[in-house]
Chain A
Amino acid sequence: MHPVRRQRLLLVLFIVVFSSVAIGLVTYALRGNINLFFPPAEVAAGMAPVGQPLRVGGMVEEGSVRRAADSLAVSFRLTDYQASVEVVYEGILPDLFDEGQGAVAAGVLNEAGVLQATEVLAKHDENYMPPEVAEALEKSGYDHKGVPQ
């Protein structure tokens, strides 16, 4: 084979092998690591899978936050004003987490429909609302601050 062609062939082979390895890695890594987002209404309607990692977002219901007296366990309800989901979490909540504010909880839904959260995200500044939550609220006829429209 002509040396230039051989060189090209090797180059192409190298790129093909390498990119297939990369694509394999990507698909493998993606499989277990994408979390679907569900608004509380869909969770209540039973559309969210049990036992798989997912995220639920909405407003933290007023008066729903209960902390244990002797541990870091905390429970609260997330609502989109149509339905609400009970969330339990053990750990330190973000600074901007509060009742009547937007939050997203990531974790696994159990048989009883309670979300065992491994991570709770609150908004990052006063006016920001995660886009999924804003959309979920909009569907229920509320604006991104939870004010009925």
Chain B
Amino acid sequence: MIAEFGHFALILGLVFACLLSTVPLLGAWRRNRDAMALAPGLALGMLCMVAISFACLTWAFLQDDFTLKVVASNSNSLLPDIYKFSAVWGNHEGSLLLWALILCGWTAAVAIFSRELPLLMLSRVLSVMGIISVGFLSFSLFTSNPFAHNLPVPPVDGNDLNPLLQDPGLIIHPPLLYMGYVGFSVAFAFAIAALLGGRLDAAWARWSRPWTNVAWAFLTLGIMLGSWWAYYELGWGGWWFWDPVENASFMPWLAGTALVHSLAVTEKRGLFKSWTVLLAIFAFSLSLLGTFLVRSGVLTSVHAFANDPDRGMFILVFLALVVGGSLTLYALRAPAVSSRVRFEWVSRESLLLVNNVVFLVATLTVLFGTLFPLIVDALGMGKVSVGPPYFNAVFVPLMALLAPVMGFGPVSRWKRDRVARWSSELWLAAVAAIACGITLPLLNSPYNVWVALAVLLAAWLVLGLVRDVWYRVRSGSTLRAGVNRLTPSYIGMVVAHTGFAAAIIGVVATSQYNQEHDLKMMAGDSHALAGYEFRFLEVVPIQGPNFVADEARFEVYRDGELIAELAPQKRRYTASGQVMTEAAIDAGLFRDLFVAMGEPIGEEGAWAMRLHYKPMVRWMWLGAIMMALGGFCTVADRRYRRQRSSAPVKAGELAGAR
């Protein structure tokens, strides 16, 4: 009964979405205030309905309602409650409903927090969001209904959730990732609304900037969690595989990073307007493309789950409509909104332009590598796959190219700057960075040139930032006044750039210094790896709530001193019979020790064991967290709030001008 209620609410949600996508848009066209004013109400109504529907599905999972197909195939009465809850989005239908819910959430958030936006703009933005909602809600209802029944005979118990997904990381990873994916729809909606109105100005950039930054920050966190989950849950010790599905989330991030920076130029200087609009369209299209790649199963991927070709077709058509429609609109309207402001080549604008070109090229190369197998297959030239070496070969040099330029960014001035000023401000940072790059890798022998280079680049970034922060703080009358002068958006930039530096060091150090031994071990054996002695004590059977496991007990010694006890498991989940590796990790800021069990070998109780020594792997994720924090921090900036309080005047002007 609850399920029918949820189904009905979802249908009502679609009705609200249909109204939202048409009435305010028509109102904006006919300048009908009443019709435009309906938009926020419709957006909230849509959110309510979809939220009710989502709550009903969650209820069905928690109550083990196996009359529902999704519940029967993705849950089990023995599943712990917290995983019953996360199982809601651990499957295609439910995750799509989550997508729709988050989309409605963003729409409602725009409706609530942008009340001060000119009504014309607000109604267009919400309408565009409504159009996207229609797409996703009808996708959910017509091709992957989460409330489909298992009639006439429902099973007694469910198939259980895929064991890989029974993990705390998976409880929060999809919602955060979707917050990011879907969040770009706000930037997209603002861009389309601006194109419709033919007004792309600094105010538009200032409205859409906080939304974009928040979406970007969520996406950063989502990707970071995914990488972390892959690291400890897949049992291979890898943290990034350049897998099509990972790329699917990474491409919007790259385009979004370019967008975040390009929006800064548009807001501050009124430049790059058409470019920013194009990036907003591009970032959201890549989010949709990502959804298509994940949901259609066209690519071989470790993430791909069983799929249905109809669904792929639906998203492909939707994608074509969104991309085609928005690009057509762009082609029709963009020339009208180009700008005539000029800037010198030595200026912050050109540095941000370099950022944009680098990130766009990075996006395109990743896109190319991801779609190349599809292109080759479509041409009938065979089935190929593009491996990680390709992505590393193109991506790493691009990022290495970015870092030196990034160091100049914070100290540079808008419009016109002088190289002499840069060198006088940064020579100390440069010398110190070179010194760090040469000396710090000496701590670890043998000397590694790549790590030295990474330390050099990261130190250059951080020291340049330190120099700039110090300069700004000092310019205040007292230290306190100086600190108070730092705006949240400046602090956000500093934190995010520092995070990027940390991530560079983490990625390079862990790839270069990583040591991995796969070997056969008997109970009582010990093995030395990177100065740590791993002692394999015993294997004991364990009974979990919905699995049985063999647990290996390890003790790790360094210089004869016990520093960690590790207990990796090999689980067999009772409902599905699926086998899962549960790695054991001793985490630290400067190194991780990682043990995973392979399979039993021979008759005498020996096991294949995977031992890893991973230095500084945490820096990468901490760096990503800092980047996200930086993104969130910028939103607190006063100028976004001030904008809101002064906006009604503008709305009046606009209505008068029209």
Give chain A's interface residues, CB within 8 Å of chain B: 3-4, 7, 10-11, 14-15, 18-19, 22, 25-26, 28-30, 32-37, 55, 67-72, 91-93, 95-96, 104, 106, 121, 124-128, 130-132, 135
Contact = CB atoms under 8 A, between A and B. Distances in A.
A34 B372 contact: yes
B162 A125 contact: yes
A34 B390 contact: yes
Contacts of A92: 518, 596, 598-599, 608, 610
A131 B312 CA distance: 14
B71 interface: no
Interface stretch (B183-191, B317-325, B576-584): B576-584
Q: Which 10 A-B pairs have the closest CB atoms?
A: A29-B393, A92-B598, A37-B383, A127-B306, A33-B390, A29-B390, A33-B389, A22-B361, A95-B579, A69-B602
A106 B384 CA distance: 11
Contact of B302 (A7, A18, A36, A121): A121
B578 A96 contact: yes
B365 A25 contact: yes
A124 B164 contact: yes
A131 B293 CA distance: 13
B387 interface: yes
Contacts of A35: 384-385, 387
Nearest to B570: A95
A2 B430 CA distance: 36
B304 interface: yes
A25 B599 contact: no
Interface string B561-596: 000000000000000101111000000000000001
Max chain B Cβ within 10 angstroms of own Cβ: one of A34, A91, A132: A34
What secondary structure prevails in chain B residues at the interface with A?
mixed
Interface of chain A: mostly helix, strand, loop or mixed: mixed
Nearest to B301: A124
Interface size class of B (residues with CB under 8 A): 35 or more
Contact of A72 (B365, B383, B389, B598): B598
A15 B41 CA distance: 46
Contacts of B357: 14-15, 18
B155 interface: no
B136 to A, nearest CB: 24
B361 A18 contact: yes
A3 B391 CA distance: 39
Interface of B: 159, 162, 164, 235, 297-300, 302-306, 342, 345, 353, 357, 361, 364-365, 368-369, 372, 382-387, 389-391, 393-394, 397-398, 518-520, 576, 578-581, 596, 598-599, 601-602, 608, 610
Given A7-B342, A126-B578, A132-B383, A93 B598 contact: yes
A96 B571 CA distance: 12
Most interface-central of B305, B384, B391, B519 (chain A CB within 10 A) = B384
Given A26-B394, A95-B579, A124-B305, A32 B164 contact: no
A33 B302 contact: no
A10 B342 CA distance: 13
Contacts of A95: 235, 578-581
Contacts of A126: 159, 162, 576, 578
A12 B596 CA distance: 52
A71 B390 contact: no
Nearest to B303: A124
A29 B389 contact: yes
Contacts of B599: 92-93
Contacts of A124: 164, 302-305
B243 to A, nearest CB: 10
A72 B300 contact: no
Chain A CB within 10 Å — which of B235, B300, B353 has the most?
B300
B351 to A, nearest CB: 12
B394 A72 contact: no
- Kindly name the residue among A11, A15, A92, A106 whose own CB sees the greatest number of chain B CB atoms within 10 A: A92
A25 B358 CA distance: 13
Contacts of A22: 361, 364-365, 394, 398
Nearest to A126: B576
Given A26-B394, A131-B298, A34 B384 contact: yes
Contacts of B159: 126
Given A26-B394, A126-B578, A72 B382 contact: no
Contact of A34 (B386, B393, B397): B386
Contacts of A68: 601
A29 B389 CA distance: 7
Contacts of B581: 95
A131 B365 contact: no
Contacts of A36: 382-384
A18 B398 CA distance: 10
A36 B382 CA distance: 7
Contacts of A25: 365, 393-394, 397-398
A131 B299 CA distance: 7
A18 B350 CA distance: 14
Nearest to A90: B518
Contacts of A135: 383
Contact of B304 (A26, A72, A128): A128
A19 B576 CA distance: 50
B338 to A, nearest CB: 12
A26 B365 contact: yes
A113 B159 CA distance: 40
Contacts of A15: 357
Contacts of B369: 26, 30
Contact of B361 (A19, A72, A91): A19
A126 B601 CA distance: 24
Given A72-B519, A95-B581, A131-B300, A37 B382 contact: yes
A35 B608 CA distance: 28
A4 B342 contact: yes
18 contacts: A19-B361, A25-B397, A26-B365, A33-B386, A37-B382, A69-B602, A72-B598, A72-B601, A93-B599, A104-B300, A106-B385, A124-B164, A124-B305, A125-B164, A127-B305, A130-B300, A131-B297, A131-B299
A18 B357 CA distance: 8
Contacts of A91: 518
Nearest to B382: A36
B518 A72 contact: yes
A37 B162 CA distance: 28
A104 B394 CA distance: 26
Contacts of B300: 104, 130-132
